[in-house]
Amino acid sequence: MLIAPGVLALAAEHIRQALPAARHFVVVTSASIWSHWGQMLMDSFLASGESVDVIEMPDGERYKNLSTVEKLSDQLVKLMADRKCVLIALGGGVVGDVTGFLAGVYMRGIRFVQIPTTFLAQVDSSVGGKTGVNLRTGKNLVGVFKQPELVLADPQVLTTLPDREFRAGLFESVKAGVIRNPRLFEFMEENRERVLAKEPAALEWVIAESVRVKADVVAEDEEEQDLRRILNFGHTIAHALEAETRYKYFLHGEAVAWGMIAATRIAEQTGRLSAEAGRRIEDLVRSYAPLPTVDVKPKSIFRRLASDKKTVGGLVHFVLPCEIGRVEIVTDVTERAVLQAVEDIRDLSRAPFPAGVGAPQSQEMGEGSPAR
Ligand SMILES: NC(=O)c1ccc[n+]([C@@H]2O[C@H](COP(=O)([O-])OP(=O)(O)OC[C@H]3O[C@@H](n4cnc5c(N)ncnc54)[C@H](O)[C@@H]3O)[C@@H](O)[C@H]2O)c1
Ligand SMILES: [Zn+2]
């Protein structure tokens, strides 16, 4: 994986170097991403004398499905793409997940490269080799493990990303800091202005450290089967919040932000985490973005947890912090503690945000307003 400002402008060179024998490149993207960054990618191929084809999928999570995969496959056939063809995913997690899956199944598998263009895709979805699409019955239910040959992450592409998307993605980095990287956590505490201003050097560092956490955890997980679960810090309650609001209200990262605060409260209540560390986690989360109000019934959230696909033997697994940089997986969290934590975040979400965070997108976040 290459993480550096300016790497997109040199994409063709890097790709050629990684894949000297590739015959045919096909970019998979969406119209809006292409309008921002397509020219720069094309120019890099023109400069190195290579030709590429481009195929588009519609923008949005609802098109992350088998029908899109089928349409893209037909287009590949029309372009006479054979097993030597290399796909290039230019886009966020949706384009990346679809393209990775397509590469995994087209002609029983061809190679692919990721050029993630959202913060979330750069630190999370492009790392780890999980690809897949949604069914009507649930998210990410059909997929394959498929590693890209190369990932090119250019922080400069984030300049066109809507602020709300950008900030939501940053919570995956906060998560990485809490679970395993206190230096990353401290950096985000001390360099908030630089990060929020999308300063390339600051982002490069945050992206690299976040990726390292995920890549290390995924690699070590092959030996220690449960380790990957720590990546779910904040996600237990986040998934329930997202489902309860029918995926239309929170951006994923915003739900994770609330989920991390809830898990932090549970950790404090159960005597695992000091009040001081708890306050630091909560302050960091709250200082990075104004978050949508939590308007849910705690009971409904608990019911969803109890039926979550990650529930094992009726026990809800929680990832709880014990200090900044270390978490544990806990199976004995009581219903009461969960209800209390959801009530806490509900109350907190109605209080004003700390000074300086502002609410630049507050109109977009009115009750019932769509998250995407
Ligand atoms: N495979 C994995 O391990 C993994 C991990 C986490 C998330 N995911 C998946 O990732 C998806 C979410 O990805 P996402 O948050 O990147 O959302 P996304 O791909 O939907 O992108 C969000 C929005 O930003 C726009 N956009 C993308 N890059 C842009 C840019 N540079 N400038 C301007 N606009 C830009 C997109 O067009 C889209 O409207 C979900 O489907 C989720 O399941 C996968
Ligand atoms: Zn996540």
Q: For 136-161, what is the mean pLDDT?
A: 97
Protein residue closest via CA to atom 13 of ligand 1: 93
The pLDDT of residue 355: 64
Instruction: Compute, in angstroms, the gap from residue 61 CA to the centroid of ligand 2.
Output: 14
Q: Are 337 and 269 in contact (CB under 8 A)?
A: yes
Ligand of minimum distance to the alpha carbon of 33? 1
- pLDDT exceeds 70 at position 269: yes
Closest residue by Cα to residue 259 from 232, 280, 278: 232
- What are the DSSP calls for 218-286, one per residue? HHHHTTSTTGGGGGGTTHHHHHHHHHHTTTSSS-HHHHHHHHHHHHHHHHHHTTSS-HHHHHHHHHHHH
β 326-330/318-323 pair status: antiparallel
Residue 366, pLDDT > 50, answer: no
Share of the chain above pLDDT 90, in %: 86
Active-site residue, 239 included: yes
Confidence at residue 279, expressed as pLDDT on a 0 to 100 scale: 98
Q: How far is the CA of 292 from the centre of ligand 2 (A)?
A: 17
Q: What is the pLDDT of residue 311?
A: 58
In this structure, are strands 111-116 and 85-91 parallel, antiparallel, or unpaired? parallel
Q: Name the band, by pLDDT with cuts 50, 70 and 90, for residue 225.
A: confident
Q: What is the pLDDT of residue 361?
A: 47
The pLDDT value recorded for residue 54 is 98
- Band the pLDDT of 310: cuts 50, 70, 90: low
CA distance 314 to 336: 16
pLDDT of amino acid 367: 39
Confidence at residue 232, expressed as pLDDT on a 0 to 100 scale: 96
When pLDDT is cut at 50, 70 and 90, the band that residue 307 belongs to is confident
This prediction has a pTM of 0.94
The CA-atom distances, in angstroms, between 342 and each of 188, 258, 293 are 26, 9, 12
What does the mean pLDDT of the chain come to? 93
Does residue 97's CB lie within 6 angstroms of at least one atom of ligand 1?
yes
Which of 298, 314, 179, 289 has the alpha carbon at shortest distance from 241? 298
Find all residues with CB under 8 Å of 284, minimum gap 6, and list them.
174, 177, 185, 188, 189
Ligand 1 atom closest to residue 95's alpha carbon, by position in its atom list: 19
Please give the Cα distance from 173 to 217 (Å, whole number): 14
The DSSP bridge partners found for residue 321 are 327
Residue 115 has pLDDT above 80, yes or no: yes
DSSP letter at 112 equals E
DSSP state of 313: T
Residue 172 is among the residues annotated as catalytic for this protein? yes
What is the 74 CA–ligand 2 centroid distance (Å)?
31
| DSSP conformational letter for 362 | G
Q: How confident is the model at residue 223 (pLDDT cuts 50, 70, 90)?
A: confident
| Lowest pLDDT segment from 24-28, 47-51, 108-112, 292-296 | 47-51
Rounded distance between C-alpha atoms, residue 193 and residue 69, angstroms: 40
Helix (H, G, I), strand (E, B) or coil at 288: helix
As a whole number of angstroms, the distance between CA 204 and CA 206 comes to 6
pLDDT reported for residue 286: 97
Q: CA nearest 2: which of 113, 165, 160, 85? A: 113
For helices 298-306 and 335-350, angle between their N-to-C axes, nearest 10 degrees:
130
When comparing pLDDT for 99 and 353, which is higher? 99
pLDDT at 326 over 60: yes
Query: What's the whole-number mean pLDDT along residues 155-162?
Result: 98
Q: Which of 208, 214, 204 is nearest to 176 (CA)?
A: 214
Which residue is closest in CA terms to ligand 1's atom 2? 125
Position 23 scores a pLDDT of 83
Q: What pLDDT is stored for residue 315 in this prediction?
A: 66
At residue 365, the pLDDT reads 46
| Among protein residues, the one whose CA lies closest to atom 8 of ligand 1 | 125
